[in-house]
Amino acid sequence: MKFINDLNLKKQAEELGVSVWRTPSFLFIVMGLVTMLVMTATYYVARNYDDPSVLIIAECVVVIIIFSIGNSIIRELEQMARTNKLKTEFVFVASHQLRTPISAIRWETELLLTKRSVGLNAQQKESIERIEVLSNRMTRLVADLLDVARIDQGKLMLRTNRIDSLPIIQEVLKSLEPMIKEKNLRIIFNQDQKIAPIVGDPGKIKLVFENLISNAVKYTLNHGKIEIKVERVKCFLVFSIIDNGVGIPENQQELVFDKFFRSDNVVKYQTEGTGLGLYIAKNIVEQSGGKLWFKSKEDVGSIFSFSLPVVEKVENCARANKCSIILPDKF
């Protein structure tokens, strides 16, 4: 299937934003065909001449042609790499510049709603509250764009601390409580269980929980069920968020962790969203020494799981090569 997708030149051109004849796959195909044709022609030309100089000249022509096509491929790849770098740098700079005015808007709205609310009528308060909600959404978007830019540049810096994950999960669930109550969802999570401490960056690990649990809440229909499970697997804790929501179509599952991806079936249930959450979460988890994976079936539900190392040396967990995560069975 991957081989067939690689040969889909039109799709590749759309993804890269270039014309079909400039895609790497097209250039490689042309290079292969030209190489075969030139070498075949060289064979037929050379066998009619006894002079070795003819063969040498023919081989030089072949090498020149191959190098010329190879150089074209390299130039195109370099151009795409430069364009991608410029795009990432632009996103980084633009996001940084947006943080200041958005922070000012949030501060002013908070001031209006707390200390300067006297004299405001109900409609005015409602408008200011709407501005506050939108500014909070913009703050989250800017933060996501900054994280994506740092990931693309290899500059996402994570602290390594001892983390108690139970309070983080409780805090995330509390922040989502209004939406959970509005949709009348049933949350299954044993808040009295003892969970071993893990290693990671507290702020970023909280972001992973926020992205995965909020996705489950958003894409589970009214009166649905969400279960959060925690289990110890060798040197890791494995967290699983299980829902009976809309699921992900099978033909789109390979794109789930791509930037800006949102499956076709979720847009009709939740129009808001950037498609950056899972991309960021996967990079945070992997950079923290764990893995993130999922199982999903459309109209049945999804299981998103991720692992993080516990606070103890790998040597105490038998051997490093035995501290691997066993993926769950199919959904």
- What is the pLDDT confidence band of residue 117, given thresholds at 50, 70 and 90? confident
Predicted pLDDT of residue 20: 72
Higher pLDDT, 291 or 33: 291
Q: Is the pTM of this model over 0.75?
A: no
Predicted pLDDT of residue 317: 53
- What is the pLDDT confidence band of residue 225, given thresholds at 50, 70 and 90? very high
| SS3 label, residue 291 | coil
Predicted pLDDT of residue 187: 95
Q: What is the per-residue pLDDT across 164-206, written as a single tens digit (0 to 9) for each?
A: 999 999 999 999 999 999 999 999 999 888 888 999 999 999 9
Identify the CATH number of the domain defined by range 161-322.
Answer: 3.30.565.10
Alpha-carbon distance 186 to 222, whole Å?
10
- Residue 110, pLDDT above cutoff 50: yes
Higher pLDDT, 184 or 321: 184
Alpha-carbon distance 137 to 106, whole Å?
11
Q: Return the number of other C-beta atoms located less than 10 Å from residue 155's C-beta.
A: 9
What is the helix, strand, coil percentage profile of the chain, to 5?
60, 15, 30
Q: What angle do CA 103, 104, 107 make, to 5 degrees?
A: 85
| DSSP structural state of residue 92 | H
Higher pLDDT, 49 or 328: 49
Contacts of 172 (CB under 8 A, 6+ apart): 206, 209, 210, 213, 214
| DSSP structural state of residue 320 | G
Chain-wide mean pLDDT for the chain?
81
Q: What is the per-residue pLDDT across 80-100, written as a single tens digit (0 to 9) for each?
A: 677 766 776 776 777 767 778
Predicted pLDDT of residue 306: 96
Predicted pLDDT of residue 330: 41
Q: What is the per-residue pLDDT across 141-156, written as a single tens digit (0 to 9) for each?
A: 888 888 888 888 788 8
Q: Where in the chain is the domain with CATH 3.30.565.10?
A: 161-322
Predicted pLDDT of residue 12: 67
Predicted pLDDT of residue 126: 84
The mean per-residue pLDDT over the stretch 200-221 comes to: 93
